[in-house]
Structure 1
């Protein structure tokens, strides 16, 4: 399944690569999250034989994925960003690897358009004063990790349901990390398979989203994670640290706009703690 936000410009290529006609036992679910191009997305979905779920407003990745999962019927769920080049054969290979290795969640190696591998596995967020390690270990072609990239991953539907899906309080960023942490706490295992490789430029799935907005929203997700999994004091320290970065780092551009976005996100986070 995939969640789109103004992504109709790349959606046709995405569903063509999957090619549902060769895999009648699989299904494509497209969740449109309040896009301006919803009509085009619906048309592409119908032509591909996909199920489409439409939200009138932008509800974010986690909540959108939960809507898609609710419409799914299979034993395995594959969450894939629309800018990822992947086929059903590759997704089915991931599932086979997971079943053979007794994994609950598995992802592929991810490379950019230049062929360079991206580091898509590692440890979950921890305050710097807590014990930290690299968060992963390797065993043959599998890399067992605390968390992996949510751009392309397969997860058992039963485990996803048992965990309650993604935490909808995370609008964007850190929602997969939160899911993987809860999965690990429940005794589940997450890994990356070196045998499957997918390509993505990253950040190409949404038009009109600026780097500044992404940077602030990443901080919001980080802060939500800190408040949820650590002490309230550690959450407050994260807030102060991020505010200082916004005040100093030029990538945040209009500081007043960035601060307003961050505070709005923090208020949503505080309401959930």
Structure 2
């Protein structure tokens, strides 16, 4: 999926096509105006492994993935951010961890300097854990500290930057919940997979470079607004604490107050 995601998209496609197993690359364009989707369409016009789906509008991450998945023919689906670069054996190594009860396999995402994104493996962002994270009580918070595993381990949440799923599981879950426009759709998908009895695994032996945020830099307030909306939506859907009206109201107030407080800094950074 891409929406003004920048030049890394071309590299993303090149790396995917260099995979050591047959692939079908479906590029889903969410109304980009940078010309990248059209350029890729022309560049791979003679390659039947590559196709471009034009949404002509920004439908959001999950809805875009769902439309791409509807055209996929393989038994395994790889959801890949356009700023992620995989190695030739990445898909094979992730697929090696797929078993009869596997729902989702994630990988360790990191930046060019090798710094691991904490979102590679996290706990559900329940209210109590979010507060523990804010208070610096790491062991009770959302992030999982310590050395990464050398193989596949169960996880509550893995990063949506790269997800491998059996197609049958994706269809059973109904794909991504399209109520989430941006952010938290991967957390929701992992939660629903576990609720259906599927395993969510982190392939600790697979590293993927993630460029992070081409479209986020162009429209920081837009992205932040949807991120905060999705945080509240996830809370309402999955956190038992949301059953209490007063707690629900306080969380709503806290989330949107946080959003408003961040706007000046985001606008200042954008001008720079």
| More moved, 211-220 vs 26-35 | 211-220
Post-superposition shift, 1:20? 5.3
Post-superposition shift, 1:129? 8.1
SS in 2 for 1:35: coil
Q: How does 1:106-121 map to 2 (within 5 A)?
A: 106-119=105-118, 120-121=120-121
Indicate which of 250, 255, 261 corresponds to 1:237.
250
Post-superposition shift, 1:107? 1.3
SS in 2 for 1:87: coil
Structure-2 residue corresponding to 1:39: 38
Structure-1 residue corresponding to 2:230: 221
Post-superposition shift, 1:73? 1.0
Q: Structure 1, residues 182-216: CA drift from partner, whole Å, max 9, x if none?
A: 10001011111121111112113x37633333322
Structure-2 residue corresponding to 1:76: 76
Post-superposition shift, 1:47? 5.3
Distance 1:41 1:235 in 2: 45
Task: Return 5+ residue gaps in structure 1 as ranges.
Answer: 255-273
Cα 1:183–1:211, aligned 2, differ >3 Å: closer, same or farther? same
**Residue pair 1:20, 1:28 contacting (<8 A) in 2 also:** no
Post-superposition shift, 1:60? 0.7
Distance 1:8 1:243 in 2: 30
**Residue pair 2:149, 2:205 contacting (<8 A) in 1 also:** no
TM-score, with normalisation over the residues of structure 2? 0.81
1:149 and 2:159 are equivalent in the alignment: yes
1:202 and 2:200 are equivalent in the alignment: no
Distance 1:189 1:151 in 2: 18
Structure-1 residue corresponding to 2:91: 91
Distance 2:129 2:25 in 1: 43
Distance 2:181 2:126 in 1: 20
Aligned residues: CA RMSD = 2.8
1:166 and 2:176 are equivalent in the alignment: yes
Post-superposition shift, 1:253? 4.5
Between the two proteins, the alignment pairs up a number of residues equal to 249
**Residue pair 1:8, 1:40 contacting (<8 A) in 2 also:** no
Cα 1:201–1:177, aligned 2, differ >3 Å: closer, same or farther? same
Distance 1:246 1:131 in 2: 17
Post-superposition shift, 1:139? 7.0
TM-score, with normalisation over the residues of structure 1? 0.80
1:251 and 2:265 are equivalent in the alignment: yes
Structure-2 residue corresponding to 1:13: 11
SS in 2 for 1:166: coil
SS in 2 for 1:168: coil
Cα 1:125–1:47, aligned 2, differ >3 Å: closer, same or farther? farther
Distance 2:83 2:218 in 1: 14
